[in-house]
Amino acid sequence: MKEKLKELRERAISQIEAAQDPEKLNEIRVAFLGKKGELKNIMKGMKDLSPEERPQFGQMVNDAREAIENRLEEVGRAAEKRLMEKRLAAETIDVTLPGRQTEPGHLHPNSIALRELEKIFIGMGYEVVDGPEIEYDYYNFEALNIPDNHPAKDEQDTFYINDKILLRTQTSSVQIRMMEQGRLPIRMIAPGRVFRSDEVDATHSPSFHQVEGLVIDKGLTLADLKGTLDTFAKELFGEETKVKFRPHHFPFTEPSAEMDVSCFKCGGKGCRFCKGEGWIEILGCGMVHPHVLEMAGIDPKEYSGFAFSIGLERIALLKYEIDDMRLLYENDSRFLKQF
Ligand code: DAH
């Protein structure tokens, strides 16, 4: 028995010394000192010893336990230390390394153009309002004096959701919503997305943006419209800019016009940019049709107004000399970061 105990003690110590990590040491602890461990097992043989031998053997068992425990403790502490050193080495931060660059975002050319337009109109006392992109046929067409047989209502141009609901084809719908609220006078711009069933090419997209304008007050005339839009054009394209109004037709304005600005590249002489014309078309406008006022609950004998609509992409393309509208929708950061 004594031999067995000696052998057990030596085996435990040599296993402990060979062990590298705390986990392995714990396994050894259980195997030798645990409730069902080897030391408990050997003590079962004590009953076969003579009464004189028992205390002596008991003492030997205690000594062995103590020796094993001490060794476990010492080797365990060293293993923990090694582990900690390894972890610290792995987590070292080299504060002298250069920082990682994060690339800042860029404003989209549309956003830059819109901010500029908003700034100009806010400066003239306009409020910026919003309207729904999913709209009733009534606000998009009917209330704007666009009868059922009008070509703009053709299904080829309009995305219909059902008979009465569609994706708005123009921000002019917001004019009606504002007039219906009846808070007069009105001086607003309504920027937003519009939708038309168009094929994509360099100048077309099924979804683009307009900035609608509407002013309603007592005694407004065509002179107010012209003065406002002239001021706007000069602020946007420069003091030397000239404007020209060409008669046009829109169902919801009478009279209606399209406005051209003198080419800000060549000053009006004619160049590649203005296709030799000297003029560039930038918006549609007109005096609000009395019937439209009436339908929205405003008395045309008392109030008059003017409206206009600027193509936002058109402004962005012109200002930044971008020749393909598709670039505005691809959102390639190499393109966007140039502006
Ligand atoms: N809504 C028209 C369109 O999308 C543009 C337009 C023209 C709007 C004249 C106006 C306006 O407010 O007065 O073609």
Is residue 300 situated within a structural domain?
Answer: yes
**CA angle centred on 215, ends 211 and 220, rounded to 5°:** 140
pLDDT tens-digit map of 48-85 = 888 888 888 888 888 888 988 888 888 888 888 888 98
Q: Distance between CA 78 and CA 72 in Å, rounded?
A: 10
| Coil vs helix vs strand at 275 | coil
Q: Are residues 271 and 323 in the same domain?
A: yes
Torsion angle defined by CA atoms of residues 325, 329, 335 and 339, in that order, rounded to the nearest 10 degrees: 80
CA–CA dist 289, 309 (Å, integer): 15
65 within a domain of the structure (yes/no)? yes
- HSE value, Cβ hemisphere, 13 Å, CA-based, for 301: 0
Between 3 and 278, the higher pLDDT residue? 278
- Verify that 123 and 84 share a domain, yes or no: no
Same domain assignment for residues 85 and 151: no
Q: Beta-carbon neighbour count of residue 308 at 10 Å? A: 24
SS3 state at 260: strand
1 vs 156, more confident: 1
Note whether 312 and 109 are within 8 A (CB).
no
Measuring from atom 12 of ligand 1, which residue has the nearest CA?
308
The answer to whether residue 205 is domain-embedded is yes
By the 10 Å C-beta count (0-12 exposed, 13-18 middle, 19+ buried), 187 is classed as: middle
Q: What is the pTM of this model?
A: 0.72
Ligand 1: residue of 153, 170, 175, 176 to mutate (most ligand atoms within 8 A of CB) is 170
Q: Number of structural domains, the chain?
A: 2
Both 70 and 113 in one domain: the answer is no
Claim to verify: residue 145 and residue 15 sit in the same structural domain: no
- Are 307 and 198 within one domain? yes
The percentage of the chain sitting over the pLDDT mark of 90, rounded to a whole number, equals: 59
Of 172, 259, 287, the residue with max ligand 1 atoms within 8 A of its CB, to mutate for a pocket test, comes to: 172
Q: Which amino acid is at 83?
A: L
Tell me: do 147 and 45 sit in the same domain: no
Residues 150 and 226 in one domain: yes
Ligand 1 site, residue 312, Cβ cutoff 6 A: no
Residues 225 and 82 in one domain: no
Query: Would residue 256 count as lying in a domain?
Result: yes
Last residue of a domain, which of 41, 62, 90?
90
Q: Say how many Å lie between the CA of residue 313 and the centre of ligand 1.
A: 15
Return the CATH number at 319: 3.30.930.10
Q: Which structural domain, as residue segments, surrounds residue 246?
A: 109-336
